[in-house]
Amino acid sequence: MIKRKYFGTDGVRGLANAFPMTPDIALKLGAAAGRHFRKDQKQHRVVIGKDTRRSSYMFENALTAGFTSTGMDVYLLGPVPTPAVGVLTRSMRADVGVMISASHNSYLDNGIKFFGPEGFKLSDKVELEIEKLLDDEIEYAASQNIGMAKRIDDALGRYMEFAKSAFPRKKLLNGLKVVVDCANGAAYKAAPIVLWELGAEVISIGVNPDGYNINKDCGSTHPQNAAKAVLEHNADVGICLDGDADRLILIDNKGNIADGDQLMGLIASQWSSKGNLANNTLVATVMSNMGLERYLNTLDIKLLRTNVGDRYVVEAMRKFGYNLGGEQSGHIVMTDYATTGDGLMAALQFLNALVESKCTSSELIKVFEPMPQLLRNVRLNNSESLDNLKVKESIKAGEDAFGDIGRILIRKSGTEPLLRVMGECEDPKLLKAVIGNIVETVDAIN
């Protein structure tokens, strides 16, 4: 496997103003991507969106300089959700799209994600090709061929109309009271407006970004405030988005939190019953709960697992012709509608089901009983930890102890020096003991 210097599991990401997320690297990254996608002297264009963190403005300027220096025309979308970049890359006939965001991370981090001309995230192969160009000298365009930069004032409006296409035209959300937590992020304008225009009574939180408060005690990674608001306002449902609005966590009317696995299970079962689930298959990652897999088996729905990362889910969906996939963390990908995870469009799918069912959200959302799951992160000081004999023996002992009633998944983080140790087991005490033993073993040799 080729070691990557800049790209991780979802673009380039890190602490702002520290390697690799520095303005000079962002400029070179724009120039390298420009060289890769500008194959001839014809007009070529790139669309760039961003979230609300302070450093996004800095990286927007650096990327713009890089792209225009190689002859690419740049269309600036402003603060928009990540899925807006995917759809507008395709609808505006751009050669490449860029989203500046570190997703659910704090404002101190930032990232750069790329989309190809069809609106899908780049493959590993294309990212490596861009990496090879990154450390070369920039090949500037001739003075008369420098690209221009232009702001697109109606980008958010275009996306909002597109998002509403996921909701049936003749239906409305009249009578529903919805709490929406936008994480002080990219959907702080779009999500409340779309829900209101579709007829809902909307209680908005996390809609006052100041450059520093994105994802801070709010959004999909901190749904407690939304749960509290649902109970205080006697709302029908709560919708929690993350900083770039490509993932979703739901809160039912009783204040209970439902993750992406529950929502995928619901959508898959409904689409399957209507004959709309392509090849009767759901695509999810290795992190999705075994309870979801067992539930789907009862409905004769296949589950295809991929590596962690929504782009690997999408790659499998495109390769085999599937139309529904996602992650436990709340990325829900519906390729009939969008090219990447879209928290708002996934929420509209749930709201449609809620209107159709005439149930409460608490009755609707919990479609299966999750198997007890435990995830522990271990900081890696030794990159060879997984090759250590004692670690291998502890993992094997845990697998033997679980037998057919559980599983162990261990992987290195793609963005941090962490080892993620995850286990699932019907016996919670055995689960805690097995995972604890593996973590202690890794810690001891670090």
Q: DSSP secondary structure string, 159-190? A: HHHHHHTTS-TT---TT-EEEEE-TTSTTTTH
Nearest-Å Rg of the Cα atoms of the chain is: 22
Measured between alpha carbons, how far is 306 from 282 in angstroms, rounded to an integer? 11
Among candidate residues 56, 69, 103, 394, the one labeled active-site is 103
- Asked if 63 and 26 count as a contact pair (C-beta separation under 8 A), the reply is yes
Q: Which residues face 8 on adjacent strands?
A: 11
- Asked if 231 and 203 count as a contact pair (C-beta separation under 8 A), the reply is no
Which residue type does 290 have? M
Count CB atoms within 10 A of the CB of residue 13. 23
Measured between alpha carbons, how far is 233 from 340 in angstroms, rounded to an integer? 32
410: left (phi over 0), alpha (psi -120 to 50) or beta: beta
CB-based contacts of 401: which residues, under 8 Å, 6+ apart?
430, 434
Measured between alpha carbons, how far is 191 from 160 in angstroms, rounded to an integer? 8
- Asked if 377 and 420 count as a contact pair (C-beta separation under 8 A), the reply is yes
User: Which residue bears the tokens 């962490």?
Assistant: 418
CA count, 13 A, side-chain hemisphere, 353: 24
Catalytic residue status for 103: yes
Q: DSSP secondary structure string, 48-99? A: EEE-SSTHHHHHHHHHHHHHHHTT-EEEEEEE--HHHHHHHHHHTT-SEEEE
User: Which residue bears the tokens 């890769």?
Assistant: 36
Measured between alpha carbons, how far is 267 from 445 in angstroms, rounded to an integer? 44
Task: Tell me which residues are annotated as active site.
Answer: 103
